[in-house]
Every structure is written in C-alpha cells, then in structure tokens.
C-alpha cells in the first residue's frame, strides 16, 4: 500500500482514473469547498438575517477566490478536450435552467449570468479561438480583464448587455460573472493548460486519486447543483423546527 494525500490508497487504485490529472481534481475540490462555505454563510445572512463578520471583506474575497479557481481550472481542462463546443452548450444550458429556477423562486435577485453561464460560453468561444498563438491569447486575456475593470464603472439603462459586464443601477443578481473581465481569467487558464500541461499529463510523479478533495473535484458540477437545495433544507429544518422547539 502507498500513502496518498489524505487517505491511504491501494496500488491497484492508481489506474482507476487514467485520463484525469489529479492535482486539477484536488484544486477543484478545494474550490468547491470554498464555494460551499461561502454559499452557506450567504444563506444564513440572506434568508435568516444572521450577521456574518467581515462579510464584505474576507468572505467576499473568499468567494471570489473560489470562482477564480473554477475559471482557471475550467480553462486548463478545455485544452484537454476535443468537444468544447458540446461541453460548453451543456454547461450553458444548465446555467439557463438555474436562471429559470431562481427566477421562479427569487424573482428579485435571480441568476441572470452566473458562473455556469460564463464557463459554458467561455468553452464555446474557446472552441473557435483555440488556434490563436499563446502570445496573442495572453494579450487578449489582459485586454479583456482591463476592459472589464473599466466597464465595471459604467452604468447603462438596459439589462441586455449584462452578459458582457454593462449593467444598470438597479441591477441585482445573486450570482454574476460577466464575460468582461472573467473570460480573461478563463483564457489565462487555457494558457496554463497549453504550456504547463501541454503533454496532458500530471506534473507530479505521485498523486492521490481517492482523497476527499479529489472525489469532490471529480463531481464538482453535480455538487454545485445540489448543495444549495440541501443547505436551504437543512437551515429550514433547523430554524423552523429544531431551534424553535429548543
């Protein structure tokens, strides 16, 4: 037996996921935990008026760190795939289903263009620009980030341009990651994939495949879709039954 990252795994298990780069799953697992923690605290504050210390400081940046990790890792992963167009449409469709669902449940702050919309559309766009040389991809990513920072200071009187980062004063969305500047972060991930992972292999000689973080990373999309309903159910039961009767 060999000892891995956090769990002991059998030698025969090392071939269980031959096509996966395990450090990417590991980092994606970290990102999903950061995201779940952020969303759990958000639910406490938004739905049960529980004040969260440093909400607009530390926890704000903790949530952004999670999102940036997902964008970078999605960009890296896109350099391994030959069907980014199909993958992108699927992810974007899931994002639209979340838009419909949140509009029904929370019409005042429903998800208009969240991280799944961003990742799906980024995959689709990358399918068409994947042949751009590395240098120009880097230049493009920096330009998109700079334009996004500039556009964040501009307001308009329509919501139609919100996917690219132009919004009106009363715009409200519980999850919002427009193409500018975040597509630039995704492109940086593709640069990492095309350089650090150009052989499409792990950069580590030994990796842990069956650690908890790797498991979460392999199933991050599914966890993303189910964790909020589970959190809200747990909190509803806790605040309406357990705490009330206690």
Query: What confidence score (pLDDT) does residue 222 get?
Result: 96
Phi, psi dihedrals of residue 42, rounded to the nearest 5°: -60, -45
What is the average pLDDT across 55-83? Answer: 96
Q: Which residues pair with 2 in a beta bridge?
A: 9
Does the structure show a pLDDT above 60 at 94?
yes
Does the structure show a pLDDT above 50 at 63?
yes
Q: How many CB atoms within 10 Å of residue 69?
A: 19
Query: What confidence score (pLDDT) does residue 206 get?
Result: 59
Residue spans of the domains in the chain: they are 20-234
Q: CA–CA separation, 75 vs 88, rounded Å?
A: 12
Share of the chain above pLDDT 90, in %: 78
Burial zone of 71 (CB within 10 Å; 0-12 exposed, 13-18 middle, 19+ buried): buried
pLDDT in tens, 203-246: 886 556 678 999 999 999 999 999 999 999 999 999 888 766 65
Q: How many CB atoms within 10 Å of residue 76?
A: 23
Does the structure show a pLDDT above 80 at 93?
yes
The mean-pLDDT minimum among 89-93, 199-203, 226-230 falls in: 199-203
Tell me how far CA of residue 239 lies from CA of 45, 167, 242, 244, in angstroms: 13, 36, 6, 6
Query: What confidence score (pLDDT) does residue 6 get?
Result: 39
pTM to 2 decimal places = 0.90
Query: What confidence score (pLDDT) does residue 104 get?
Result: 95
């Amino acid at each position: 037996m060999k000892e891995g990252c956090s769990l002991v795994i059998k030698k025969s298990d090392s071939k269980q996921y031959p096509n996966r780069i395990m450090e990417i799953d590991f980092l994606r697992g970290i990102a999903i935990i950061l995201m779940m923690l952020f969303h759990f605290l958000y639910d406490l504050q938004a739905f049960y008026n529980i004040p969260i210390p440093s909400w607009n400081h530390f926890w704000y940046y903790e949530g952004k760190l999670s999102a940036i990790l997902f964008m970078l890792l999605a960009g890296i992963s896109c350099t391994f795939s030959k069907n980014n167009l199909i993958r992108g449409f699927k992810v974007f469709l899931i994002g639209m289903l979340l838009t419909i669902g949140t509009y029904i449940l929370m019409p005042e702050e429903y998800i208009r263009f969240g991280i799944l919309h961003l990742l799906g559309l980024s995959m689709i766009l990358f399918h068409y620009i994947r042949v751009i040389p590395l240098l120009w991809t880097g230049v493009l990513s920096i330009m998109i980030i700079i334009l996004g920072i500039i556009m964040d200071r501009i307001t308009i009187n329509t919501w139609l341009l919100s996917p690219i980062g132009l919004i009106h004063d009363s715009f409200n969305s519980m999850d919002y990651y427009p193409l500018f500047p975040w597509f630039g972060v995704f492109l940086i991930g593709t640069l990492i994939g095309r350089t650090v992972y150009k052989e499409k292999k792990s950069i580590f000689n030994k990796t842990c495949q069956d650690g908890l973080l790797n498991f979460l990373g392999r199933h991050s999309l599914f966890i993303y879709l189910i964790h909020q309903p589970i959190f809200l159910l747990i909190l509803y039961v806790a605040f309406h039954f357990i705490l009330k009767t206690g």
